[in-house]
Chains A and B, each alone.
Chain A
Amino acid sequence: MPTLIYGPGYGNYDFGDRHPFSPVRAEATLDLMRQLDIDAEPVIPEPATIDEVCSIHDREYVETVEALGTGEDVSDFERFGLGTADNPIAPGMGEGARHLVGGTLTGARRLMSGADERILQLGGGLHHAKRSFAAGFCVYNDLSIAIKDLVDHGMYVAYVDIDAHHCDGVQETFYSSEQVMTISLHESPEFLFPGTGWVHELGRGMGRGHHLNVPLDPFTRGAGYLRAFDAVVGPALSWFRPDVLVVQAGADGHATDPLADLMLTTADYEALFRRLIALTDQHAKGRMLVTLGGGYSLHAVARVWAILGLVLWDMPVPAKVPQAWLERWRPLLGDAPEELHDAALEAAPGQEEIESHNRQTTTRLLDAVAPLWI
């Protein structure tokens, strides 16, 4: 049985009602998972310590985050990307972020101990946080911290990021490492934050060929996305042969997401999750740690991540969203569909051009790494 990780402390990572990165997303997802009879009592993680956070982040940055979170009067925080629209100063933000880090770290350690093989961490995925810079809603990089812990214990880690945004923070942490492979599929950095994640970003030094970016055109649909995924991820994992797969399962590639422009449906996500599990069994010794990530349409993320739970727990995906769940979350959901799966998208013009460009992107990427994968 997979293991679920989630704690009430996750709710402390909260930038207020008007901020998109709301802890409600995970709460509503957990509730939906329960109402779909996924039998999982969450493991409640300890928050990460300051020292654990400092395995990746500069101490001065961490101390600033912690001090701001406890209401101390700190000056000169803007150079750390704090106090901005994306990363406003919020009470308890340091502690809240450490709860999320603790969850991802707990997942990594349970994989290492052999206690578990499939883990769903119902939070985290803060892939934009840099060494001493907060960005894109991310303060502490739980993924980098957990992957660093795995690497320090001798493991080879493959990281697959299906968030609509490029995983700039994680890529930067391990850019020169041959022990970590990062693979990110995202909307083209020409248009979308953070503006990195181009095909030519392949890694530095020993890390060259270990960092793959698949930038997809805005309005890319599921068929094209899955084609790009199949072209790149399978061959990459088969070459790298990791000890564990870490997945950032951001759901902002969904067609209704307000922050990005990809056009995935819940059915596409289900197909994606099934592929990730198959690849884990085939190439990563069956060990998989999945975190959440971006995703800002509440009904979309709850359904996508509940489907993730159903797939991980080997359960069939029922047709309907439970009525009790809809009623409970109605005030926040607005006009939500009653089916668990989206209706199929209507045909739209321009798909041939998008597909042609995406195909060229994957070809260029594979051509660029071919001489490095020897």
Chain B
Amino acid sequence: MFVEEIMHRDVMTVSPDVTLAEAYQTLRRGRFRHLPVIEEGRLIGVVTDRDLRLATSRLADHPFAPEARVGDVMSSPVSTAHSRDPVEQAARVMRDARIGCLPVEEDGELVGILTVTDLIDAFLAVTGARRPSGRLELRLEGRPQEFAALTKVFADLDVSIASILTTQESDGGTRVIVRPETIDLRQVASRLCAEGFEIVWPPPLACQP
């Protein structure tokens, strides 16, 4: 999954000369939190609602006035992503830098913005049931051909697979969550179990050849 598949393309931007009050109104009207700052077509910073509220807070050591310029409080330089970056790389950058958005650039031009909310949406798209399906969970040992044997059982039963998710377990095994497009999950599970697969869900059942 690439950044361009989940980013927002219509990006509201401001110039560094806009006042903090104006920038704050822009964020409030648009109901979002991150504003890239553009000067002469070039991305020079990002200002967030948090930046604005902290800068103008009476609790700050030297509070800025609402008439101050965005250029004085923005975060700069900016971490960015490319539209063809893998989503997981963008997520890693945001996590390490502890930031909530990445402006997306192509050839130095701003083409979109990626926020934590977009990453949550991507997570939901990956883990959710997009088609009517059940949930089968099993543990693999990491041997070759395991997946081939796994999917062959589905093929033999005429059951489509809506999604497959895997996670690594601490002991080196692989936890696999398959979403089969069938209401009769135990039929699949008992066949897999008869083929020697370790089934985590559905709970204990008799293996049927």
Contacts and interface: CB of A to CB of B under 8 A. Distances in A.
Interface of A: 20, 81, 83-86, 88, 128, 133, 135-137, 165, 168, 189-196, 218, 258-259, 261, 294
Interface residue tally of chain B, by bracket?
A: 20 to 34
Contacts of B158: 83-85, 88
B129 interface: yes
B129 A192 contact: no
Given A84-B158, A86-B183, A88-B158, A135 B132 contact: yes
B182 to A, nearest CB: 5
Interface in B145-171: 157-160
B135 A191 contact: yes
B184 A189 contact: no
Contacts, number: 70
Nearest to B157: A85
Contacts of A88: 158
Main secondary structure of the interface of B (DSSP, over half): loop
A261 B203 contact: yes
Contacts of B179: 195
Central interface residue in B183, B184, B187, by most chain A CB within 10 Å: B183
Central interface residue in A133, A195, A261, A294, by most chain B CB within 10 Å: A195
A84 B129 contact: no
Contacts of B187: 85
Contacts of A81: 181
B134 A128 contact: no
Nearest to B186: A258
Contact of B129 (A20, A137, A189, A258): A189
Contacts of A194: 129, 132-134, 183
A83 B181 CA distance: 12
B132 A128 contact: yes
Interface of B: 128-129, 132-135, 157-160, 179, 181-187, 201-203
Given A191-B134, A194-B132, A196-B129, 14 more contacts: A84-B159, A85-B182, A86-B182, A128-B132, A128-B183, A135-B181, A190-B135, A191-B135, A191-B202, A192-B135, A193-B132, A193-B134, A193-B185, A194-B183
A261 B189 CA distance: 14
Contacts of B183: 86, 128, 135-137, 165, 193-194, 259, 294
B133 A191 contact: no
Nearest to B154: A85
A193 B186 CA distance: 11
27 contacts: A84-B182, A85-B157, A85-B158, A86-B159, A86-B183, A128-B183, A135-B132, A135-B181, A136-B132, A137-B183, A165-B183, A168-B132, A189-B129, A191-B134, A191-B135, A191-B201, A191-B202, A192-B185, A193-B132, A193-B134, A195-B129, A195-B132, A195-B134, A258-B186, A259-B184, A259-B186, A261-B202
A192 B135 CA distance: 6
Nearest to A190: B135
Contacts of B181: 81, 84, 86, 135
A133 B130 CA distance: 13
Contacts of A165: 183
